[in-house]
Amino acid sequence: MKVRYSYLSQQFGNCPELWQELKKFVKTGDFTLGKELLKFEKKFASLIGAKYAVGVNSGTDAIKLSLKALNIKNGDEVITAANTFVATVGAITEIGAKPVFVDCDDTFCMNVDLIEKKITKKTKAIVPVHFTGYMTNMIKLLRLSKKFKIPVIEDACQSILGAINNKNAGAWGDFGAFSLHPLKNINVWSDGGVITTNNRKHYNKLLLLRNHGLIDRDTVKICGYNSRLDTFQAVVGNWLLPKAKSIAYQRIKNAKYFDKHFLKIKQIEIPPRLKNYKIVYHLYFIFAKNRDALLKHCLKEGIEAKVHYPKPMYLQESLKNLKHKRGDFPITDKHCKKIITFPCDQHLSLKQMNYIIKCVKDFYKKSKKRKTGR
């Protein structure tokens, strides 16, 4: 059996109603900052529980434009999680700021208790990463934000509809940055991103930043970017947003099924499932003994398991100027050695989930036999 990583052919392979919407849209010629985009932004803001939403080119740009809206510049420091995808750090370095890493806890998110000692006079923002459907402890983080008057940009690219106490990711900080990449929980047919905010001043500046700084065709108020979300992609987004809650529900249901069975395998450790936290499982993570051999076994058996991420950002060559050394972030290092990732999407069948579980069980049974010689 094959258990694929990408489910896009299942999601979009047979959607005649979407094609009808796209055909109608093409006839309008309303391709740039069109009515469908405005409709999508309003729907997205409502879904998250924010006042405003701004469609942009990508999740990376969602972080970058939020930083620019705060006037963060060369030499400023931005605190973020040590274990994250390159895009978080890339957005920070692209505007000339310095990423300051904080180690994670076993939720894969930054350990908020470690942030205060990283704050300096140069700290201009904190970017918590809501990693793979989890959420950073925003209650604690906002206390720090208020105490030191440091704005917060939530990297919620992997956690749309993740929540703490029923308050969604992207509704806590000064900004929420989301990705609509094809492999995210809410996805379009190319790159795309959204920024949420409750601040009218930030909202107005973001509208300028994403569209060259133009007030109108011939009046440039600030130097901005070409970072508009294509209206074509907004049509896809409008078709998908009504399904957002059911998508999250099915991913949570799948994860609970995995948990139930993996809890019985002593070589597997389930990450914390925190009370009052809604984890939306962009991917399903576990800690595994003899991870590399298990990964090799799963791939051989047709399961597209992965590791997020085998080498932490702080040790990447692109950041060697920060002069970090292995061991500076021990929990992140542990994650890189023990994490294995399985698909958890809404199109995964019960048969496929049972096959994943069986393959993991079989691997550890065979490992035990090799050790005992039986």
Whether residue 373 is predicted with pLDDT greater than 80 in this model: the reply is no
Whether residue 309 is predicted with pLDDT greater than 70 in this model: the reply is yes
Residue 326 to residue 311: CA distance in whole angstroms: 10
252 shares a domain with 146 = no
Q: What is the pLDDT of residues 261-282, one digit of tens each?
A: 999 999 999 999 999 999 999 9
The pLDDT score that the predictor gives to residue 366 is 86
Calculate mean pLDDT across residues 219-242.
Answer: 98
Q: What is the pLDDT of residues 354-371, one digit of tens each?
A: 999 999 999 999 876 666
Nearest to 88 by CA among 127, 55, 122: 127
258 shares a domain with 207 = no
Alpha helices by DSSP H, listed for the chain, are: 8-12, 16-28, 35-48, 59-69, 86-94, 138-148, 200-209, 231-240, 244-262, 291-300, 330-338, 350-372
Block residue for tokens 């399904």: 243
Domain annotation covers residue 7: no
335 shares a domain with 368 = yes
Domain annotation covers residue 4: no
Q: What is the pLDDT of residues 22-68, one digit of tens each?
A: 999 999 999 999 999 999 999 999 999 999 999 999 999 999 999 99
Mean per-residue pLDDT over the chain, rounded: 96
Whether residue 298 is predicted with pLDDT greater than 70 in this model: the reply is yes
The continuous run of DSSP H or E covering 219 comes out as strand 219-220
How would you list the strands of the sheet with 339-342, edge to edge? 268-269, 284-288, 339-342
The pLDDT score that the predictor gives to residue 316 is 96
175 shares a domain with 312 = no
Block residue for tokens 């890493």: 101
Provide the residue range defining the domain that includes 252: 244-372
Q: How confident is the model at residue 374 (pLDDT cuts 50, 70, 90)?
A: low
Domain annotation covers residue 134: yes
Residue 179 to residue 194: CA distance in whole angstroms: 6
302: tokens are: 């047709």
The pLDDT score that the predictor gives to residue 371 is 65
The pLDDT score that the predictor gives to residue 367 is 78
Whether residue 372 is predicted with pLDDT greater than 70 in this model: the reply is no
- Going from the C-alpha of 253 to that of each of 3, 150, 157, 324, 357, the distances in angstroms are 18, 37, 21, 40, 15
- Of the three residues 184, 211, 243, the one that is the final residue of a domain is 243
What is the number of structural domains in the chain? Answer: 2
- Of the three residues 186, 210, 243, the one that is the final residue of a domain is 243
Residue 179 to residue 198: CA distance in whole angstroms: 19
Strand pairing class (98-102; 77-81): parallel
Residue 128 to residue 114: CA distance in whole angstroms: 12
